[in-house]
Chains A and B, each alone.
Chain A
């Protein structure tokens, strides 16, 4: 691209041709007032606030939409420019209400700020201002539509980033209103971003509404504890309480966006369910006690139980320091029974992997892939912002191929897709593998021998052999799948044949970190050999005598909640470390209040292996303590060596060495070898398709009232296609009784013609479906 010489406000600049005056000014650090311009959105040029003077131009020009030309001389602060800007401001203020004192945007409002610089001190407009009825956009976004200045950022966000145009601007001129179609709620999992984008107080946060003024808040950096992207957060705190969460810009991770889960989950932090005092059950009665007494009690009890009869389980949503100390504690006691892969059901890769599984590339690369194959992923709900990056790739003519057991709207163009019953996932992948080998005239890998290269497989193979940047990704469902090892090995073959990079989309905030610090049996920190032991499934299939649970809500967090609860109930001693009481009141013997991510320092390793440490943003609630401290003291009480850490940084150093990033990166490897693939037996009867609903993934999200009111948190239903509804003699929207191993459950029938035949889709991880059984496998359904 050619370089042009221009001048802005007398400063000579060199800029790329194709840049706008706004781009050039931004590079030079010159601020031009604006509303509708946003660096991540298309140019609308409809607010006109950015008018500037350009030499030889007969009228002021909008800086955001005017490309630079060689020799251009721009004046952004000349009298002529300022006059134009002031006139625009006068027009904008004609209809804008003067309600700043009761507006939540006050103090962080672009209109307010710019009005100070460009607004008149009084208005020449004597007529009545227009009034616009507020819209109900759902539980997350509050509206005051009279304040809207029609910059259209929120509309463009839907079209261009969220992938779904939920808001529009019907009407014309003064009658223009921003609204959804027919009073519908916004349903996008990225919807909260319009709150940040709206330059005025028309769209504000509903949960935060009227709870604090922006200047009373201290802003503290943190990392999101939910999906495996590790979005960077700015947590706003007042009086030692988290008031709201905003994105902290990081171009390499979340850009300037946040998923709603990251933004609104904080509401779950201060619920009445918080555990604030250590508690011990004496004769079936819960008694509050001191930390000293509780921990001594735990240590004494653990000493009486053989180590191999103790199991330690954590969710993958806990910081790396805690996971490291948990496994160190267990191994110190002489047991390798430690795991965090609570929803996994196939662990046979444990002795075939060469390192920790990861994305296989930096997150940023996901925005510019030419060819993609994604297997078993609910992209939008499991990885909202990575889905946005893939949509970006698709928008730049990338081809997305999907293999999955259900078809939820991806909100972007899909090149080829194959929706099959879970039991057929592996063989479908084998088909693509064979098609690719045939296309490239290479020998068909043994593990794909049973694959059938049908038209779709060939179309995918074709697609995967083109382009320059290619990737194969495995999603959460693939990882939870009972044949995960086969799917992984086949995907690896596909990527090898296609010359594509191969990645595993991390399930949770610290899925990669947990493996890196050795919270799995047989593998210590950074892959050092360590005591073998039972994996999560083995620990929960048969009762052990004692369980150490790190924030595990067994009825919701596990692959087979029925088996998990049965085992835990049968144990003689259960220690629950959790920020919440929850159902553990029923099955635990000791409850230890540990800090959620806002009250402790710690580290999450995201799916690309980025090591992100964070500090506490508020003080622990009540007697709550950071879990790493609890585990360290427990180590001391048990008389174990190597529990002398003074702060979480020392724990991290103990776990990952002096250069955590480098060591983690060196440890990551998706390569597996020696996997045997068996052709699937033809399924009989019905199969369950289960996913974890987006707002049920972890303990904090589950307790966030506003997220629980969204459409994504609707009550579970049993979804099946019309053929199955007819075959079973059911009625759409009628009721059906579903059953796996244990008790039956009555659910509403919902027709979903995108589901494969003989599949019943019932979400897992939900209190209502906890009695059902494993996430995959046979299920029966009959009329009630």
Chain B
């Protein structure tokens, strides 16, 4: 069962967090906790290597491919390695109407990378995001899945990038 590669093993803290997720569901439906478990694994390891997905799947007693489906469906899971700072720019309609297109160009030029790429120094990853449910504050981006930056302009973007080391 458990993967022999010990570098994949999650810390006791992460496993405890996963157990909390698992406890929310009936004992024979552990796999319902897959989204939470993947999130916790990603937070600890930075990104979801296929082997790590397999580890989580084994832990929940579900087929690895089923966990992999979940990990590739939601774009806040990273199945490729990412830089220290992941900028996810919303490019859906309201944000685009409010200038997300120009912001995208600006970010790409400034960082020298395209969507889905990481700067050579491993500092930034740029991702294309879907509607973040806060269109009133468009355009916007998300930093490392947790912090939202709204009403963006090229200047505000520069400021933000400077702050992120």
A residues near B (Cβ < 8 Å) are 164-172, 179-182
The answer to whether B72 and A167 have CB atoms under 8 Å apart is no
B41-57 residues at the A interface, CB under 8 angstroms: 50, 54
Assess A168 versus B50: contact at CB under 8 Å? Given A181-B63, A181-B64.
Answer: no
Instruction: Determine the chain A residues whose CB is within 8 A of the CB of B64 once the complex forms.
Output: 181-182
Which of chain B's residues have a CB closer than 8 A to the CB of A166? Answer: 63, 65
Contacts of A165 in B (CB 8 A): 63, 65-66
Q: B109-152 interface mask toward A, CB cutoff 8 Å, 1 = contact, 0 = none? A: 00000000000000000000000000000000000000000000
Q: What would 10 A/B residue contacts be, using CB atoms closer than 8 Å?
A: A164-B63, A165-B65, A167-B65, A168-B65, A170-B71, A171-B73, A172-B73, A179-B65, A181-B68, A182-B50
When C-beta atoms are compared, the residue in chain B nearest to A182 turns out to be B50
Minimum CB–CB distance from A168 to chain B (whole Å) comes to 4
Give the number of residues in B that approach A within 8 Å (Cβ atoms): 12
Instruction: Give Cα A171 to B74, complex, Å.
Output: 8
Contact B69 A170 (CB under 8 A): yes
Contacts of A167 in B (CB 8 A): 65
Residue of chain A at shortest CB distance from B50: A182
Query: Which of chain B's residues has its CB closest to A166's CB?
Result: B65
Known interface pairs A171-B73, A181-B65; 13 further A-B residue pairs with C-beta atoms within 8 A, sorted by A's residue number: A165-B65, A165-B66, A166-B63, A168-B65, A168-B66, A168-B68, A168-B69, A169-B69, A170-B69, A170-B71, A170-B73, A179-B65, A182-B54
Interface contact B72-A172, CB-CB below 8 Å? yes
A180 engages B65 (CB within 8 Å)? yes
Contact B72 A181 (CB under 8 A): no
The verdict on A181 contacting B73 (CB below 8 Å), with A165-B66, A168-B63, A170-B65 known, is: no
Interface pair A170/B63, CB less than 8 Å apart: no
Closest to A167 in B: B65
Whose C-beta in chain B lies nearest to the C-beta of A173?
B73
**Total contacts A-B at CB 8 Å:** 35
Q: Which 10 A-B pairs have the closest CB atoms?
A: A168-B65, A170-B72, A181-B65, A165-B63, A181-B64, A168-B69, A172-B73, A170-B69, A171-B72, A170-B68
B residues sitting closer than 8 Å to A (CB atoms) are 50, 54, 63-66, 68-69, 71-73, 75
Residues of A within 8 A of B72 (CB): 170-172
- A504 CB to nearest B CB, Å: 33
Chain B proximity of A371: nearest CB distance (Å): 19
A164 / chain B contacts, CB cutoff of 8 Å? 63
- Residue of B with least CB distance to A183: B50
Nearest A residue to B28 via CB reads A413
Q: Measured between alpha carbons, how far is A167 from B68 in the docked complex, in Å?
A: 11
Q: How far is the CA of A168 from the CA of B73 in the complex (A)?
A: 12
A170 neighbours in B (Cβ, 8 Å): 65, 68-69, 71-73
- A175, closest chain B residue (CB): B72
Across the interface, which residues of B come within 8 angstroms of A180, CB to CB? 65
A387, chain B: closest CB distance, angstroms: 18
Considering the complex, give the chain B residue whose CB is closest to the CB of A180.
B65
**B54 CB contacts on chain A under 8 angstroms:** 181-182
Docked complex Cα distance between A592 and B64 (Å): 52
Q: How far is the CA of A79 from the CA of B72 in the complex (A)?
A: 39
State the CA gap A727–B55 with chains docked (Å).
30
- Chain B residues lying within 8 Å of A172, measured Cβ to Cβ, are 72-73, 75
- B24 CB to closest chain A CB (Å) equals 22
The smallest C-beta distance from A413 to any residue of chain B, in angstroms, reads 9
Chain A nearest CB from B18 CB (Å) reads 20
Complexed CA–CA distance, A165 and B61 (Å): 12
Enumerate chain A residues within 8 angstroms of B66, measured Cβ to Cβ.
165, 168
A170 to B50, CA, bound (A): 12
Min C-beta distance of B129 to chain A, whole Å: 13
Minimum distance in angstroms from B3 CB to a CB of chain A: 12
Chain A residues near B69: list those with CB within 8 A.
168-170
Contacts of B73 in A (CB 8 A): 170-172
How far does the alpha carbon of A164 sit from the alpha carbon of B66 in the complex, in Å?
A: 11
Q: Can you name the residue of chain A whose Cβ is closest to the Cβ of B53?
A: A181
Please report the C-alpha to C-alpha distance between residue A182 and residue B57 in the assembled complex, in whole angstroms.
14
**Complex Cα gap A185–B65 (Å):** 13
- A182, B67: Cα distance in complex, Å: 12
- Chain A residue at minimal CB-CB distance from B57: A181
- Cα–Cα distance between A165 and B68 once the two chains are bound (Å): 12
> In the bound complex, how far is the Cα of B50 from the Cα of A167, in angstroms?
15
CB distance from B92 to the nearest CB of A (A): 13
Shortest Cβ distance from residue A62 to the other chain B in the assembled complex, whole angstroms: 22
CA gap between A168 and B64 in the complex, in Å: 9
A502 to B75, CA, bound (A): 54
Q: How far is the CA of A180 from the CA of B66 in the complex (A)?
A: 10
For residue B137, give the distance in angstroms from its CB to the closest CB of chain A: 25
Question: Given the complex of chains A and B, what is the CA–CA distance between A165 and B50 in angstroms?
Answer: 17
State the Cβ distance, A497 to closest chain B Cβ, in Å: 30
Query: Which of B64, B65, B72, B73 has the most CB atoms of chain A within a 10 A radius of its CB?
Result: B65
A396 → chain B closest CB, angstroms: 15
Distance A169 CA – B71 CA, assembled complex (angstroms)? 11
**How far is it, in angstroms, between the C-alpha of A510 and the C-alpha of B64 when the chains are bound?**
40
How far is the CB of B68 from the nearest CB of chain A, in Å? Answer: 5
Chain A residue at minimal CB-CB distance from B75: A172
A181 to B: closest C-beta gap in Å = 4
How far in angstroms is the closest Cβ of chain A from B128?
12
